[in-house]
C-alpha cells in the first residue's frame, strides 16, 4: 500500500489530474478503513469533496479533519512529501472509521455489508471501502464531463488491482450501476446479471425501477494478477443517491449478500 500511495501522490502532478477538477491540496485516499485487515471491501467511484471540506467549502480542521492535506502536513507541495508524511496519510486511512467518518454516506453501506459478517465500524469484523478513483474532486462525479471522468479512470486504472492484490480481501461489493460498468471495463469482464423482484423501487408513474444483482469472480484487474479468485457482488441501486431505496430493499440486498458470502467462508 505504501508503494501504491507513492504512485498516487506522484500522479497528482499529471495533466489529467489537473484538468479533472481534483482537490490537489488533499491527499489521495487509497482506502477508507484498514485494508490490510479487511476480508470484505466495498467499491465506489471516488471520494466525496466532503471528506476534505465542510458544507461551505472550507477545509476541515481539528477534530473534524478526516484526511491529510498539504496544510495539515505543513508541506508546500506534494513533491516535498517523505516517508513520514506517507505513513501519516496511511494512518488516517486506517483509522478513518474511528474518527469523524462521513456516516451519512457509510452507514447505509455498512448495513448491507453486515450480511457478509463484516463492518466498517467493528475491528473484530473489519471491512473497508475502496474507490475506482482515489482522488476527491471539487464537483460531484455526475457533474464532471465525460472526458474528465475518462481521464481519471485512465490515470487510476491499475490502482484497484494493486491494492486488492496486496490485501486479504476476498469479497468486493460494488455500490451502484455506474461502479459496476466501470469495474467491468477495467477488469475486462462481464458479471452475471439477475433481476431481483424484491429490490424494485416504486415510482409514481407506475413503472418500477427494476433491481438487478451482479455476481462473478475475477483473478485479474487492469492486468494486475491477484494471485487468487475474488468474489465480486454488486447491485444497480446506489444506496446513497438512488431515490426511494427503502429499508426493505436494503434488507433484501443484505440477505442476498449473506447467502453469497457464506459460500466463500464455508
List the domains of the chain with CATH numbers: 2-265 (3.40.470.10)
Q: How many CB atoms lie within 10 A of CB 69?
A: 19
Q: Is the pLDDT of residue 104 over 90?
A: no
Residue 266 has pLDDT above 60, yes or no: no
Please state, in angstroms and rounded to a whole number, the distance separating the CA atoms of residues 266 and 259: 11
User: What would the mean pLDDT of 71-91 be, rounded to a whole number?
Assistant: 95
Question: Which of the four pLDDT bands, split at 50, 70 and 90, describes residue 142?
Answer: confident
| pLDDT tens-digit map of 169-204 | 999 999 999 999 999 999 999 999 999 999 998 877
- Give the whole-angstrom CA distance, residue 111 versus residue 141: 24
Asked if 96 contacts 33 with a C-beta cutoff of 8 angstroms, the reply is: yes
Q: Quick one: 259 exposed, middle or buried, by C-beta within 10 A (0-12, 13-18, 19+)?
A: exposed
pLDDT tens, residue by residue, 199-251: 998 877 778 889 999 999 999 999 999 999 999 999 999 898 767 788 999 99
pLDDT of residue 242: 61
Cα–Cα dist 67/29, whole Å: 8
Strand order in the sheet with 192-201: 127-131, 40-44, 171-175, 224-235, 209-221, 192-201
For residues 35, 39, 43, 48, the Cα torsion angle rounded to the nearest 10 degrees is -40
pLDDT at 45: 95
Amino acid at each position: 500500500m505504501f508503494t501504491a500511495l507513492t504512485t498516487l501522490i506522484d500522479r497528482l502532478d499529471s495533466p489529467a489530474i489537473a484538468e479533472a477538477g481534483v482537490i490537489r491540496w488533499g491527499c489521495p485516499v487509497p482506502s477508507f478503513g484498514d485494508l490490510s485487515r479487511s476480508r470484505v471491501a466495498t467499491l465506489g467511484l471516488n471520494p466525496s469533496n466532503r471528506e476534505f471540506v465542510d458544507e461551505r467549502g472550507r477545509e476541515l480542521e481539528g477534530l473534524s479533519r478526516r484526511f491529510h492535506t498539504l496544510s495539515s502536513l505543513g508541506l508546500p507541495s506534494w513533491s516535498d512529501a517523505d516517508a513520514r508524511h506517507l505513513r501519516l496519510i496511511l494512518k488516517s486511512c486506517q483509522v478513518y472509521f474511528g474518527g469523524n467518518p462521513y456516516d451519512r454516506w457509510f452507514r447505509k453501506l455498512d448495513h448491507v455489508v453486515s450480511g457478509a459478517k463484516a463492518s466498517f465500524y467493528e475491528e473484530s469484523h473489519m471491512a473497508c471501502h475502496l474507490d475506482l478513483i482515489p482522488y476527491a474532486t471539487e464537483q460531484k462525479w455526475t457533474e464532471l464531463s465525460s472526458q474528465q471522468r475518462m481521464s481519471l479512470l485512465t490515470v487510476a486504472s491499475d490502482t484497484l488491482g494493486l491494492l486488492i492484490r496486496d490485501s486479504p480481501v476476498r469479497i468486493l461489493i460494488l455500490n451502484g450501476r455506474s461502479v459496476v460498468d466501470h469495474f467491468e471495463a477495467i477488469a475486462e469482464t462481464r458479471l452475471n446479471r439477475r433481476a431481483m423482484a424484491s429490490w424494485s423501487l416504486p415510482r409514481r408513474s407506475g413503472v418500477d425501477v427494476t433491481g438487478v444483482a451482479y455476481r462473478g469472480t475475477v483473478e485479474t484487474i487492469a492486468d494486475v494478477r491477484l494471485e487468487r479468485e475474488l468474489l465480486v457482488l454488486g447491485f444497480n441501486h446506489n444506496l446513497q443517491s438512488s431515490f426511494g431505496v427503502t429499508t426493505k430493499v436494503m434488507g433484501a440486498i443484505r440477505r442476498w449478500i449473506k447467502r453469497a458470502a457464506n459460500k466463500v467462508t464455508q
